[in-house]
Amino acid sequence: MEDKFFIKYKKILAIDEVGRGALAGPFFVGGLLSDIEFYSNLKLFNIKDSKKLKEKKRYEIFNSIKKIKPKFEIMKFTNKEIDKLGIGNCFKIAIENLYKKFKPDFILIDGKPVKCNIDKRKLKFIVDGDEKIKLISAISIIAKVLRDKYMISIDKYYPVYEFKINKGYGTKKHILAIKRFGICKHHRISFLKKLL
């Protein structure tokens, strides 16, 4: 599907986010800049939406993408920033900042439209874009792997919440742990109001 965009544009930025619905941990928004050469190499991989891949396969594809030297940036919003700004504003800020950094000719973004201070003619929001667009799938995998690694790294300090397993999402065991032990400094208060 991206082929038609590269007929008109030289540099395309693909954006996707990870960790939107988690109860703990940061919100990652990734941007991947691509020209036709990078995209041609990327097309050789069997890339899918990161959420539909098993962890081992996701890591394999992540390592394959790294070999073709992707130009990407991850914007990380802490749980405190999420509580203060709201997840929607965090996403908007990330889109605008990634645009300023990479200065692409066009942007492909996973999800429903978000109001941004960017010329609308330079943006295309695509619902389920991580399933339809390889560039979005690629940044989805990169962001997911990096966020997962972060959650695994903090698990050793807070083993009762099983972050290495649930990655901060609201599994039954995670919710039971919150009820029993309370919250830690990585939990999103704004996401836990009903539970607390």
Q: What is the pLDDT of residues 105-138, one digit of tens each?
A: 999 999 999 999 999 999 999 999 988 999 999 9
178 domain residue, yes or no: no
Report how far residue 99's alpha carbon sits from residue 108's, in angstroms, rounded to the nearest whole number.
11
pLDDT reported for residue 19: 97
Report residue 77 as tokens.
């919003």
pLDDT at 196 over 80: no
* Residue range of the domain that includes 131: 3-151
Assess if residue 54 is contained within a domain.
yes
Count of domains for the chain: 1
Q: What is the C-alpha separation between 38 and 27, in angstroms, rounded?
A: 27
Strands, sheet with 71-77, edge to edge from the N-terminal-most edge strand: 71-77, 27-34, 12-18, 106-110, 123-126
- Look at residue 127 and tell me if it is in a domain: yes
Enter the pTM of the model.
Answer: 0.95
Within a domain: 19:
yes
Residue 9 domain flag: yes
Give 163's contacts (C-beta < 8 A, 6+ positions apart). Answer: 24, 25, 151, 152, 154, 155, 186
Q: How confident is the model over 153-163, as pLDDT tens digits?
A: 999 999 999 99
Give the model confidence (pLDDT) of 171-186 as tens digits.
999 999 999 999 999 9
196 domain-assigned: no
- Which token pair is 66? 């790294």
pLDDT in tens, 22-44: 999 999 999 999 999 999 999 88
- Domain CATH for 100: 3.30.420.10
Is 39 among the domain residues? yes
Give 68-88 pLDDT, tens digit per residue: 999 999 999 999 999 999 999
Question: Can you tell me the distance from the alpha carbon of 100 to that of 96, in angstroms, rounded to the nearest whole number?
Answer: 6
**Which pLDDT band holds residue 48 (cuts at 50, 70, 90)?**
low
Encoded amino acid at 48, one letter: K
Q: Does residue 193 lie in a domain region?
A: no
| Alpha carbons 91 and 171: distance in angstroms, whole number | 24
Q: Residue 49 — pLDDT band, cuts 50, 70, 90?
A: low
Split at pLDDT 50, 70, 90, the class of 47 is: confident
Q: pLDDT digits over 51-74, tens only?
A: 778 888 899 999 999 999 999 999
